[in-house]
Every structure is written in structure tokens, then in C-alpha cells.
Amino acid sequence: MPFHQINPNPACDPGFRLDLDGRARFLHEGFTVDVQVRPATREDMPLIVAEVSSFAVMMIGTVTMEGAVLCEVSEAANEREPARMREALESVLSRAVEESRRAVRNMVLRIEEIDREQRRSTAV
């Protein structure tokens, strides 16, 4: 899946790059997705019996629109496995866009319902 990184320094690498805080920003299907990669914790992976690998990371994608956070999705990966990191990024980007669309659709339906209820209550 092609993706378009807009921050930091997207032209420097054919893959993707993170800033010093483990963050990047992507434009995917018209949505801006902020991505953070951080070390995974035991709480992130409760089903793993053994110690969490020191190379395990969590990739978190967030879509914020008009000041409202529409979604936050995450995916586990291993920073020593570039193919898995790329898969995790692709999954985070596509799931973030899908979840954002679903959230907006649900909000619009809820607002329409509230408006109908308000019209009914003021008409009585």
C-alpha cells in the first residue's frame, strides 16, 4: 500500500521515518494520521507469558479532526523486523481511516437523532 509521509523528512527514506520522539505524520486517503511508535509494555501484550522483547514496539495511529480525536488504533511490531514494521504501519493507517469514518458516521446519526428528539419536544 502506498502511503504519503508528511513529517518528518519524508524524502530521506524509501520506507518511513520517525522523529526523535518516535512520531510521524502521514496523509492516507485524505486523512492526516499521527503515528507514534513506543516500546511495548507488559500491559500492551497481556497474552504473552514470557518477558516482552526489548525490540517489541507499539505503533499507535490517531486521527484528529476539528479538535476532536476520532480514533486511536494500535498494532504491535518488532523494530528489528522492517517488513513487520511496514505491515504494522499499513494496518494502523488503514484501520485509523476506517475507524474515523465509522466514528463520524455514528456521530452524524446521533446528532440527527438528537435533533429529531429536540424538534419533537419543542413541538409539544
C-alpha cell at 57: 514496539
Residue 40: closest CA among 90, 76, 86: 76
Given a cut of 70, whether residue 123 has pLDDT beyond it is yes
Is-above-0.85 flag for pTM?
A: no
Select, from the ranges 8-12, 28-32, 49-53, 120-124, the one with the highest average predicted confidence (pLDDT): 28-32
Report the mean per-residue pLDDT for the chain.
86
Query: 33: which strand partners?
Result: 26
Domain that holds residue 56: 4-123
C-alpha cell at 119: 424538534
Please give the tally of structural domains in the chain: 1
Query: 32: which strand partners?
Result: 27
* 46: exposed, middle or buried (Cβ count in 10 Å: 0-12, 13-18, 19+): exposed
Q: CA-to-CA distance for 110 and 121, rounded, in angstroms?
A: 16
